[in-house]
Amino acid sequence: MKITLLDGSVKEFDKALTVKEIAENIAVSLKKATVGAVIDGNQKVASDYLVDKDCTLELVTNKQEGMYDEFISSTAAAISAYATDQVFKDAQIAEVFYNADEYEFAFTFHRDERLKLEQVSKIQDEVNKLLTTDIKIENKKVTETNDLGLNTYQLHTADEEIYKKGYAIVTTINDTYKIVSSEPICVEDKLLKEIHLQQLTGSYWLDDSKNVMLQRIHGLAATSKKELDKKEEILKDRRSRDHREINKTLEIFDFDPLIGQGLPIWLPNGTILKDTIKDYLKEKEWEYDYVQVQTPVIGTLDLYRTSGHLDHYRDDMFQPFKAGNEEFVLKPMSCPHHIAIYRSKPRSYRDLPLRYAEHALQHRYESSGSLTGLERVRAMELTDSHIFVRPDQVEEEFKSIYKLIEEVLATFHIDIDYLSFSVRDPEDKEKYYQNDEMWDRAEAELEGVLKDLNLPYKKMVGEAAFYGPKLDIQAKTAQNHEITISTIQLDFLLPEKFDLTYVDEKGQLTRPIMIHRGLIGTYERFVATLLEQTKGVLPVWLAPNQIEIIPVGGTDAEKYAEQIRQEFKKRHLRSHIDLRDERLSYKIRDAQVHKIPYQLVLGKNEIDNNTLTYRKYGSEEQTTIPANEFYDLVSKQVAEKQ
């Protein structure tokens, strides 16, 4: 048997050996450090797995942070599942998971009665007890699932594994408890020093809402207390940056189960924030010669049949509904509506580019499991545009769209993770709209622009939409998820489907190319990103409440405060007077907690001199200046989008 190692070297053995034996053969020191391996780049196996045929082998040792963590964590999940079985005999284990982004393991189980949090502590106690004993873990390879005595969930996993790999691994813990997992369960239980069960949630079996709801316990595993503390610290920091957490004090959005999952409510603070962003974007669109349009949130089924969305996008759309004799759908995107505007009269080459912008409400039926605060919702407002150009205008227009996006994202100080440039795979004749000449030209032009502008990008071959190449501007969320913020997508197909034309210089009917542009994506996802990147400390121009006014010293101060508030109003500055019966120090702290850019403390001294005493967010320093100077100071910051 020939084993190819990661460095390309090949080892030959005359008999089958376990991963651990192979490790020992390479170096004695490796024997201790190895917990498993990855075979042929995709099969993760524990160290007692018997390798019996030629393969490539990557040993997983305690030197490899990510992979090692996965192996240790899935083992901890199996031990925790066993502990659950010890405490609650009626819990039927379903699956074991590992989530690298969260360093977290999880396992699901079915039990008629929902566990209470204190019952999870019972499982934790059992886990702690187990960690002080020798746990016996044995893995056995099976190719048949009969007579294994597995529950229906485990049977399903075993059958899936056999279907995918030709075998499944049945792990037996302490001679009695059987568990099947697609994750490797290591026999080195002594390495595991810490297992910390963290929370209890629920998820549908196989993520399908038609199936039974399972209970899911999440946890962290580590080989030392220090490592566990480090993981917990990182997670705590991430959680504090999560926009859902930040929203608890800023009160930007809300959800109500009676309204429906994933249907966000923009609260007063959120509406101010969104409208402020919108005013700015419309001003930029004006500068770049876009025209604003507004189209209905529904369209007939025929519209989406013609556009092809019904075929390609059906699962992402809300179900069609009937009214009278007609059938409608909630629009998942505005492209066909904007096409209708283009088609409403004959167009000449002199009319192009035509840039329709719409800050458009749209609805998508995202799976309930994927809904994440404002980041992924079912009702959203896209900063959408469709631009109709002649083929010779693509390059220029792409450049100008990119410039617009870049300027806008810079105004918000958004950190771009990377640019993803998706092109077709020319070999794939099935997926892509067939017009090689058009694709070649457009791809070369877009790439030329990226090079001209000196922009680093990742080229993704075969990732283009079926209708054309695209550029996505990617960012990272606090939870380490990759998301698309802005997008520029070329489309050769929709103009054809709707038979769009313009009269060219020679009087001939010619097809335009369409460009879909999402300026900052949806307000929902953008605000989620903004909150996470600023940690909720919004700049003055965006802060829903820019100035908190705290009067001290009774009615005179309150009157003065009101007079000042009216002055702010005249200048379109947003302020609020704190009239609560609380101590000054409490009010100041509260304004800090709510991340209000300025706090004013007004008392006798200020009234007598017509001054203001202010303190900036995050600063201890107090400054007293004439009221007029303060108005100018804040107005200037707002005007300069600071």
Name the site residues for ligand ATP (rule: CB under 6 A). Answer: 364, 366, 376-377, 380, 382, 484-485, 487, 518, 521-522, 524-525
By CB atoms closer than 10 A (0-12, 13-18, 19+), residue 187 is: buried
Q: Which does 525 bind (CB under 5 to 8 A by kind): ligand ATP, Zn ion, none?
A: ligand ATP
CB 474 within 8 A of CB 493: no
Q: Which does 335 bind (CB under 5 to 8 A by kind): Zn ion, ligand ATP, none?
A: Zn ion
Q: Which does 359 bind (CB under 5 to 8 A by kind): ligand ATP, Zn ion, none?
A: none
Question: What is the per-residue binding string for Zn ion in 515-534, x denoting contact by CB under 5 A?
Answer: -x------------------
Q: Which does 376 bind (CB under 5 to 8 A by kind): Zn ion, ligand ATP, none?
A: ligand ATP
CA distance 106 to 100: 11
CA distance 443 to 405: 20
Helix (H) or strand (E) holding 29: helix 28-33
- Cα 441 from chain centre: 33
Instruction: Give the nearest distance from C-beta 316 to ligand ATP in angstroms.
Output: 7
Instruction: Give the nearest distance from C-beta 330 to ligand ATP in angstroms.
Output: 13
CA distance 30 to 6: 14
Specify the long-range contacts of residues 577-581, CB closer than 8 Å, at least 24 apart: 577/549, 577/550, 577/551, 578/548, 578/549, 578/550, 578/551, 579/551
By C-beta, is 86 or 307 nearer to Zn ion?
Answer: 307
Q: Is 335 in the site for Zn ion (CB under 5 A)?
A: yes
Instruction: Give the nearest distance from C-beta 237 to Zn ion in angstroms.
Output: 37
By C-beta, is 180 or 485 nearer to ligand ATP?
Answer: 485
By C-beta, is 300 or 367 nearer to ligand ATP?
Answer: 367
Q: Is 514 in the site for Zn ion (CB under 5 A)?
A: no
By C-beta, is 203 or 385 nearer to ligand ATP?
Answer: 385
By C-beta, is 188 or 375 nearer to ligand ATP?
Answer: 375
Binding segment for Zn ion (CB under 5 A), chosen from 86-94, 176-184, 329-337, 599-607, is 329-337
Q: Which does 487 bind (CB under 5 to 8 A by kind): Zn ion, ligand ATP, none?
A: ligand ATP
Task: Show binding-site residues for Zn(2+).
Answer: 335, 386, 516
Instruction: Give the nearest distance from C-beta 333 to Zn ion in angstroms.
Output: 5
By C-beta, is 473 or 602 nearer to Zn ion?
Answer: 473
Instruction: Give the nearest distance from C-beta 366 to ligand ATP in angstroms.
Output: 5
By C-beta, is 84 or 489 nearer to ligand ATP?
Answer: 489
Beta bridge partners of 387: 355, 515
Residue nearest to ligand ATP (CB): 521
Instruction: Give the nearest distance from C-beta 335 to Zn ion in angstroms.
Output: 3
Task: Show binding-site residues.
Answer: 335, 386, 516
Q: Which does 366 bind (CB under 5 to 8 A by kind): Zn ion, ligand ATP, none?
A: ligand ATP
Instruction: Give the nearest distance from C-beta 484 to ligand ATP in angstroms.
Output: 4
User: Secondary structure of the chain: what % helix, strand, coil (to 5)?
Assistant: 40, 30, 30
Instruction: Give the nearest distance from C-beta 639 to ligand ATP in angstroms.
Output: 28
Tokens 């599942």 locate to 81
- Cα 481 from chain centre: 5
DSSP string, 223-287: SSHHHHHHHHHHHHHHHHH-HHHHHHHH--EE--TTT-TT--EE-HHHHHHHHHHHHHHHHHHHH
Tokens 């020191």 locate to 29
CA distance 631 to 546: 12
> What are the start-end ranges of the E strands in 135-239?
137-142, 168-173, 177-180, 194-204, 213-222
Using the Cα atoms of residue 277, residue 282, residue 288 and residue 294 in order, give the sign of their dihedral.
positive
Query: Contact positions toward Zn ion, by CB under 5 A?
Result: 333, 335, 516
